């Protein structure tokens, strides 16, 4: 096993790629009661067109299959539901689907190995029938409707739809009532067999473990599968520009919600330096966002004093295969004012440059934020998995943060914070 | 983990939680005062005004910059309802010295100092709070109060609670009422704040690598010296006051896609100790993926994505929560009632009890894996007549029997059925 140690946060990562292609990562946490395991496939709602290894034809499936598959994985041939079995064992199990990956997980203090039997068994043994697929449509239908009532989800999704012309990030992860109606067991099996091959998967374990021992336990429970060839993922060609600058929807909310998006170019993964570059760029963007609109920024102070906003917005840089964008979200009486002032502030900093003292303070803050992510085994495991599928080792953020300077940040500011690629999505009464 | 509780002065407790496994220090201060209609809005605005500035950091900007310099120490404040009390909460989380890139900075003492300063030493003018700040925070609080409708699932539970506890303090909204805001003025509010500090229950929690010198430095701080001993007015957990609405049905309309069905149940306990049996009861009813509600409303009938229940210990209520198609109201309600009936008839197994216990034991064993849950556990014990440490809590859960759960089932009755539709 390869061991990567980070001396700043004082943690170690044990990593091994098994013969069947599965990557296993272990981050031991001495003294923690909680044990956490997450097993993910590099497959999310963005993958609806692909070429199965060994085939030549493109397969296209309805939107929402990855999420549907996640729901159905728990069903077992013996008539049991693995979620129930795991709960009975005494562990807390769950699963989730994002745009770029799907993950299965459980956490517990006791009965870890007993649960591991069931956990690894169900992820490796799908059991879909016409009947159990039909039944799930009602449940997922309610899940879709639940999201329909979340204004913060709507404002986010609308922002993506007005930024992206074709790229599937613009679609709801769960699909729509209409697309899920077309899902059947054959589609589920095809996607399972393509994307749930060990070579397309990774497992992360965190807790008070002895790494070699837990690795052996995992290996024992793997069924015999050969590593697959490369899956060719087909994404529609996405233009650089946005669809439309503004989008608005009416819902019953007390005060307008806004999401401001800035569309970025996805990373060029063909370049060998790209991994390091992605992390550096991500760090620079986070520092910039805090400089522009963090709690000690001029913009925040001005808008707060005017009563335009009452809390700091949430700010994120989201990226994966084929897409990258910044999102700034919050509630305001006057989203247009927030949008206009933000644009002006960006222009101002581009013009006047970045204040060195502010920059250093923000970098310190971000350093602290990175350290805080290592308290909880859940946060650690999820972070390592999500970053892994982006080609990143999570420690790199802590390693690289001090190499990001004002000069580099200025370059990123000019490249990424492009006025012509900004959108404003609002939800109003 | 080592936990110590020390009385600084009568009514003011310092809780020290020493734990070496975290990267962070977490400091919190809780001010607890009875929930009542007269003061609910004033209490709600206080954290917001206090965070605006202290004597030595007179602007929010100054506070932010100071905390950012401390490697992004994060300040947080809020309002909670705990039984018939209103709790003003203040937190700062900072990095342990061990993980600072430039070595020792004595971060823990600095963090404590900042939090004491923000809570107990606000910036003032003309014997009152800063007028401008107050006007801005009134406006913000107004928005927070109006924001109640934004999360429909939460809103439905709040509304069900209001219907259950009509004319009772527990019905009060924790952020208060818009109509009160107008009458809050900077001098009066400051007077009220000083009065509150003389009478409220004060709990200070320090979690992290806690050395003995911490106690001394807090006790001798000027903020603590200025506070006087008190016999704090607050309400302990009680078994009485139970809503009596006998299954009233309340329906309301809003612009929603999905209907939110909430059932408020009373659990009529004979003694505080029975709460642990009630926890197991709730877990079997709707506390997990194996529960009756999840299995029958969601998995078998395919009516919902969310179908669960939660036990509110401080009021002895259980809230059942289902997100359903509006036209399925009758069907879903029928199935929910059947589950309650099955519990009453003892249609659950020893295995169900074991599964429920395992889930709860697991949760108890992870309390000390998170600083915030550790703090909340020990704070919760402040309101119990019979205080248990984590080990005793664990032992008590292990002792729950089927008979005891069956006994709880007989004590459960539907008080209010609330439905939010379109």
Tell me which chain A residues have a C-beta less than 8 angstroms from the C-beta of B290: 84, 87-88
Same domain membership, residue B275 and residue B393: yes
State yes or no: pLDDT of A268 exceeds 80. no
| Any B CB within 8 A of A148 CB | yes
pLDDT at A157: 96
Closest-CA residue of B relative to A373 is B23
Rounded to a whole number of angstroms, the distance from the CA of A107 to the nearest CA of chain B is 9
B242 within a domain of the structure (yes/no)? no
Q: What domain range includes position B339? A: 248-421
pLDDT at B38: 96
State yes or no: pLDDT of B242 exceeds 90. no
Distance CA A74, CA A80 (A): 8
CB atoms B99 and A8 under 8 Å: yes
| Any B CB within 8 A of A149 CB | yes
Same domain membership, residue B308 and residue B200: no
Which domains can be identified in chain A, with CATH numbers? Answer: 2-233 (3.30.830.10), 246-428 (3.30.830.10)
Tell me which chain B residues have a C-beta less than 8 angstroms from the C-beta of A93: 289
Nearest-CA neighbor of A152 among A254, A262, A65?
A: A254
CB atoms A296 and B64 under 8 Å: yes
Tell me which chain A residues have a C-beta less than 8 angstroms from the C-beta of B351: 88
**Which of A11, A47, A70, A75 is the catalytic position?**
A70
Same domain membership, residue B256 and residue B187: no
Same domain membership, residue B133 and residue B34: yes
DSSP H helical ranges for A7-101: 65-72, 82-89
Facing residue for A34 by CB, picked from B20, B71, B369: B369
CB atoms A148 and B257 under 8 Å: yes
CB atoms B302 and A140 under 8 Å: no
Average pLDDT in the B56-84 region? Answer: 96
ipTM of the complex: 0.90
| Any B CB within 8 A of A253 CB | yes
- Bridge partners of B203, per DSSP, are B13, B30
Residue B316 gets the label, from left (phi > 0), alpha (psi -120 to 50) or beta, of left
State yes or no: pLDDT of A271 exceeds 70. no
DSSP H helical ranges for B121-252: 131-146, 152-164, 178-181, 186-199, 213-219, 222-226
Same domain membership, residue B278 and residue B163: no
Same domain membership, residue B76 and residue B181: yes
Rounded to a whole number of angstroms, the distance from the CA of B69 to the nearest CA of chain A is 6
Facing residue for A142 by CB, picked from B147, B304, B351: B304
Question: Residue A272: pLDDT band by 50, 70, 90 thresholds?
Answer: low
Which of B369, B420, B421, B422 to mutate to test binding with chain A, by most A CBs within 10 Å of its CB? Answer: B369
Q: Where residue B163 sits, what CATH number does that domain have?
A: 3.30.830.10
Facing residue for A372 by CB, picked from B23, B147, B255: B23
Question: Residue A232: pLDDT band by 50, 70, 90 thresholds?
Answer: very high
Tell me which chain B residues have a C-beta less than 8 angstroms from the C-beta of A172: none
Q: Is A88 an active-site residue?
A: no
Q: Count the domains in chain B.
A: 2
Rounded to a whole number of angstroms, the distance from the CA of B136 to the nearest CA of chain A is 7
B300 within a domain of the structure (yes/no)? yes
Distance CA B72, CA B274 (A): 44
pLDDT at B194: 97
Q: Give the number of A-B residue pairs with CB atoms closer than 8 Å.
A: 171
B232 within a domain of the structure (yes/no)? no
**Chain A, window 213-252: residues with a beta carbon less than 8 angstroms from a chain B beta carbon:** 251-252
Segment A350-401, tens digit of pLDDT? 999 999 999 999 999 999 999 999 999 999 999 999 999 999 999 999 999 9
Average pLDDT in the A163-191 region? Answer: 96
State yes or no: pLDDT of A117 exceeds 80. yes
**Chain A, window 278-297: residues with a beta carbon less than 8 angstroms from a chain B beta carbon:** 294-296
Same domain membership, residue B133 and residue B252: no
Same domain membership, residue B293 and residue B196: no
Same domain membership, residue B255 and residue B141: no
Distance CA B357, CA A368 (A): 38
| Any B CB within 8 A of A142 CB | yes
pLDDT at B35: 95
State yes or no: pLDDT of A13 exceeds 80. yes
pLDDT at B304: 86
Facing residue for B147 by CB, picked from A138, A255, A368: A255
Distance CA A222, CA A20 (A): 9
Segment B141-166, tens digit of pLDDT? 999 999 999 889 999 999 999 999 99
Phi and psi, residue A264, nearest 5°: -120, 165
State yes or no: pLDDT of A305 exceeds 90. yes
Which of A256, A290, A298, A371 to mutate to test binding with chain B, by most B CBs within 10 Å of its CB? Answer: A371
B144 within a domain of the structure (yes/no)? yes
Question: Residue A348: pLDDT band by 50, 70, 90 thresholds?
Answer: very high
B235 within a domain of the structure (yes/no)? no
pLDDT at A270: 65
B383 within a domain of the structure (yes/no)? yes
Q: Which residue has the higher pLDDT, A32 or B236?
A: A32
Are B111 and B69 within 8 A, CB to CB?
Answer: no
Same domain membership, residue B254 and residue B221: no
What whole-number percentage of chain A has pLDDT above 70?
A: 99
Same domain membership, residue B108 and residue B206: yes
| Any B CB within 8 A of A314 CB | no
State yes or no: pLDDT of B240 exceeds 80. no
Closest-CA residue of B relative to A36 is B366
Same domain membership, residue B265 and residue B222: no
Question: Residue A147: pLDDT band by 50, 70, 90 thresholds?
Answer: confident
pLDDT at B125: 96
The H-or-E segment that residue B309 falls in is strand B304-312
CB atoms A149 and B371 under 8 Å: no
Average pLDDT in the A235-253 region? Answer: 96
Question: Residue A275: pLDDT band by 50, 70, 90 thresholds?
Answer: confident
How much is the mean pLDDT over chain A? 95
pLDDT at B238: 78
pLDDT at B231: 96
Question: Residue B36: pLDDT band by 50, 70, 90 thresholds?
Answer: very high
**List of residues 6+ apart from A415 with CB closer than 8 A:** none
Distance CA B53, CA A295 (A): 14
B366 within a domain of the structure (yes/no)? yes
B154 within a domain of the structure (yes/no)? yes
CB atoms A87 and B152 under 8 Å: no
How is residue B92 written in tokens? Answer: 């700062």
pLDDT at A276: 85
Distance CA A419, CA A346 (A): 9
Distance CA B310, CA B365 (A): 20
List Cα–Cα distances, B270 to B170, B199, B266, B401, B407, in angstroms.
21, 31, 13, 16, 10
Which of B18, B148, B257, B349 to mutate to test binding with chain A, by most A CBs within 10 Å of its CB? Answer: B257
What whole-number percentage of chain A has pLDDT above 90?
A: 92
């Amino acid at each position: 096993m390869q061991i990567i140690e980070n001396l700043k946060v004082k943690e170690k990562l044990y990593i091994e790629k098994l013969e069947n292609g599965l990557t296993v990562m272990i981050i031991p946490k001495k003294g923690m009661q909680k044990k956490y395991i997450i097993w993910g496939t590099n497959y999310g709602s963005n993958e609806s067109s692909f070429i199965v290894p060994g085939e030549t034809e493109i397969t296209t499936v309805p939107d929402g299959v990855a999420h549907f598959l996640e729901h159905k994985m728990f069903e077992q041939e013996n008539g049991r539901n693995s979620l129930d079995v795991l709960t009975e064992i005494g562990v807390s199990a769950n699963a989730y689907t994002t745009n770029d990956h799907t993950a299965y997980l459980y956490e517990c203090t006791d009965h870890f190995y007993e649960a591991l039997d069931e956990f690894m068994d169900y992820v490796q043994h799908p059991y879909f029938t016409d009947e159990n697929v039909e039944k799930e449509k009602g449940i997922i239908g309610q899940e879709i409707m639940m999201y329909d009532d979340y204004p913060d989800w709507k404002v986010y999704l609308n922002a993506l739809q007005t930024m992206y012309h074709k790229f599937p990030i613009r679609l709801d992860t769960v699909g729509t009532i209409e697309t899920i109606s077309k899902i059947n067991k054959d589609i589920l099996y095809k996607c399972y067999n393509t994307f749930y091959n060990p070579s397309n998967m990774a497992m992360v374990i965190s807790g008070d473990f002895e790494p070699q021992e837990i690795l052996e336990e995992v290996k024992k429970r793997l069924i015999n599968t050969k590593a697959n060839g490369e899956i060719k993922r087909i994404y529609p060609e996405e233009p650089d520009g946005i669809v439309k600058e503004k989008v608005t929807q009416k819902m019953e909310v007390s005060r307008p919600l806004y999401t401001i998006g800035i569309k970025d170019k996805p990373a060029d993964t063909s370049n060998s330096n790209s991994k390091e570059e992605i992390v550096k760029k991500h760090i620079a963007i986070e520092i910039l966002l805090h400089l522009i609109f963090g709690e000690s920024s001029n913009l925040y102070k001005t808008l707060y004093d005017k009563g335009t906003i009452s809390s700091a917005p949430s700010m994120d840089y989201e990226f994966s295969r084929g897409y990258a964008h910044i999102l700034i979200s919050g509630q305001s009486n006057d989203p247009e004012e927030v949008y206009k002032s933000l644009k002006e502030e960006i222009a101002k900093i581009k013009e006047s440059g970045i204040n060195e003292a502010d920059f250093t303070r923000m970098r310190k803050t971000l350093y602290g934020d990175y350290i805080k992510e290592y308290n909880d085994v859940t946060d650690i495991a999820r972070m390592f998995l999500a970053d892994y599928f982006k080609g990143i080792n999570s420690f790199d953020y802590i390693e690289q943060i001090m190499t990001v300077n004002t000069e580099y940040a200025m370059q990123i500011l000019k490249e990424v914070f492009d006025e012509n690629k900004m959108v404003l999505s609002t939800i109003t009464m | 983990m080592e936990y110590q509780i020390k009385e600084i002065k009568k009514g003011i407790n310092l809780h020290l939680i020493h734990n070496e496994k975290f990267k962070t220090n977490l400091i919190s201060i809780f001010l607890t005062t009875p929930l009542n209609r007269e003061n609910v809005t004033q209490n709600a605005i206080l954290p917001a005004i206090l965070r605006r500035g202290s004597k030595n950091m007179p602007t929010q900007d100054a506070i932010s910059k100071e905390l950012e310099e401390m490697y992004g120490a994060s300040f947080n404040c809020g309002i909670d309802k705990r039984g018939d009390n209103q709790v003003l909460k203040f937190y700062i989380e900072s990095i342990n010295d061990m993980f600072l890139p430039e070595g020792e900075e004595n971060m823990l003492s600095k963090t404590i100092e900042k939090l004491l300063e923000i809570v107990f030493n606000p910036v003032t003018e003309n014997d009152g709070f800063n007028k401008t700040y107050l006007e801005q925070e009134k406006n913000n609080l107004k928005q927070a109060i109006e924001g109640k409708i934004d999360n429909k699932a939460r809103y439905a539970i709040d509304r069900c609670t209001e219907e259950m506890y009509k004319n009772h303090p527990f019905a009060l909204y924790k952020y208060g009422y818009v109509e009160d805001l107008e009458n809050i003025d900077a001098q009066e509010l400051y007077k009220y704040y000083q009065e509150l500090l003389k009478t409220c229950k004060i709990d200070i929690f320090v979690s992290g690598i806690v050395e003995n010198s911490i106690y001394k430095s807090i006790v001798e701080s000027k903020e603590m010296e200025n506070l006087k001993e008190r016999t704090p007015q607050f309400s302990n957990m009680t078994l009485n006051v139970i809503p009596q609405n006998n299954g009233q049905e309340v329906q309301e309309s809003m612009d929603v896609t999905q209907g939110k069905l909430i059932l408020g149940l009373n659990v009529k306990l004979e003694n505080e100790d029975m709460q642990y049996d009630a926890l197991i009861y709730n877990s079997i009813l709707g506390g997990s993926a194996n529960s009756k509600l999840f299995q029958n409303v969601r998995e078998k009938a395919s009516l919902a994505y969310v179908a669960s229940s939660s036990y509110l210990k401080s009021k002895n209520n259980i809230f059942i929560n289902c997100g359903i198609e509006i036209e399925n109201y009758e069907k879903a309600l029928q199935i929910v009632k059947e589950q309650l009936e099955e519990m009453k008839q003892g249609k659950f197994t020893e295995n169900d009890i074991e599964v429920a216990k395992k889930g709860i034991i697991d949760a108890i064993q992870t309390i000390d894996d998170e600083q915030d849950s550790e703090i909340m556990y020990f704070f919760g014990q402040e309101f119990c007549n019979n205080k248990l440490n984590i080990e005793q809590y664990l032992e008590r859960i292990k002792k729950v029997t089927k008979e005891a759960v069956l006994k709880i089932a007989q004590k459960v009755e539907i008080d209010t059925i609330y439905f939010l539709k379109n």
